[in-house]
Chains A and B, each alone.
Chain A
């Protein structure tokens, strides 16, 4: 199975890179950009054939390494 992990900064945590991207979009003439948040996507190929087992494993990986839950949130998507 493949797990796709989405990691984003928590709401309220300043995202300097997102702010820089927003400023760059504005300077390119894109109007109406009200905010940009930058995150990460990590795809993990897992030997597990059961979606729930794969999800549980990916969530444990997020808690122990992939996300820093002090500043980040994560979500796991099983994509087949």
Chain B
């Protein structure tokens, strides 16, 4: 299985994400934002956390117009898998690959701590390795994680079972305490918490590693037949 991790100026979780993906069995290539094509036969594009382009204008706004992004959009339109974590989630929203927007945390503070999450659906390659309604703990580190979408979009996310994670305690004021969402084909996940920072027993938590293991297990048969 092959994964590409996109790297923008200001990305700072790109190498952690690569380590977590490699531990799950992915062959990982780092792809610079000025490239215009992804390596051949990529199964997963991962958009890492950080402060791409200094969070100028809006978080993720300038990264979402980078030269590599049309290749990401093309990959997703062909049914490829993608994950965006933290700033990567902001980038996926700014590209329009996922619906809604992320605004300044309701309490205005940058929040950096472990939080309790509920796995809201196990119906995706990302979350199949958890049990339904399981409570897990992952770190968050963000200033703009307050998820907003209009009532119609929120209703669709719930009715189509596309809310992946919710906060146990709604730390940032997100609509319906949403921490992560899936695309309509369930192959694109955007989430504010950092699974890649909870993927190695040596660092304390391993709940995030299960996401990458689940994804690898879900993608292995597809990669084998590709």
Task: Flag whether A25 is at the interface (Cβ < 8 A).
Answer: no
Interface residue tally of chain A, by bracket? Answer: 10 to 19
B61 touches A65 (CB 8 A): yes
CA distance A66 to B149 in the complex (A): 19
CA distance A16 to B65 in the complex (A): 26
CA distance A64 to B94 in the complex (A): 10
B101 touches A71 (CB 8 A): yes
Contact residue among B61, B94, B99, B103 (Cβ-Cβ distance under 8 Å from A16): B103
B108 touches A70 (CB 8 A): no
Task: Flag whether B22 is at the interface (Cβ < 8 A).
Answer: no
Interface residue tally of chain B, by bracket? Answer: 20 to 34
Question: What A residues does B93 contact at CB under 8 A?
Answer: 70
* Distance to closest chain A CB from B107 (angstroms): 8
Task: Flag whether B104 is at the interface (Cβ < 8 A).
Answer: yes
CA distance A16 to B103 in the complex (A): 9
Map CB proximity to B onto A1-42 as digits: 1 under 8 Å, 0 otherwise. 000000000000110110010000000000000000000000
Contact residue among B65, B99, B100, B103 (Cβ-Cβ distance under 8 Å from A14): B103
Task: Flag whether A75 is at the interface (Cβ < 8 A).
Answer: no
A13 touches B57 (CB 8 A): no
B57 touches A71 (CB 8 A): no
B148 touches A16 (CB 8 A): no
Task: Flag whether A53 is at the interface (Cβ < 8 A).
Answer: no
Q: Which of B29-51 contact A (CB under 8 A)?
A: none
Task: Flag whether B105 is at the interface (Cβ < 8 A).
Answer: yes
CA distance A17 to B101 in the complex (A): 16
Task: Flag whether B173 is at the interface (Cβ < 8 A).
Answer: yes
Question: What A residues does B57 contact at CB under 8 A?
Answer: 65-66
Question: What B residues does A64 contact at CB under 8 A?
Answer: 65
Beta-carbon nearest neighbor of A64 in chain B:
B65
Contact residue among B99, B108, B148 (Cβ-Cβ distance under 8 Å from A20): B108
Map CB proximity to B onto A35-65 as digits: 1 under 8 Å, 0 otherwise. 0000000000000000000000000000011
Question: What B residues does A17 contact at CB under 8 A?
Answer: 104, 108
CA distance A16 to B61 in the complex (A): 20
Q: Which of B133-165 contact A (CB under 8 A)?
A: 146, 148-149
A13 touches B148 (CB 8 A): yes
Q: A65-B65, A68-B61 are in contact. Are A16 and B100 (CB under 8 A)?
A: no
Map CB proximity to A onto B54-97 as digits: 1 under 8 Å, 0 otherwise. 00011001100100000000000000000000000000011000
CA distance A71 to B60 in the complex (A): 15
* Distance to closest chain B CB from A23 (angstroms): 10
Task: Flag whether B223 is at the interface (Cβ < 8 A).
Answer: no
Question: What A residues does B108 contact at CB under 8 A?
Answer: 16-17, 20
Query: Nearest 7 A-B pairs (CB), nearest first?
Result: A70-B101, A71-B101, A16-B104, A16-B108, A16-B106, A20-B108, A68-B101
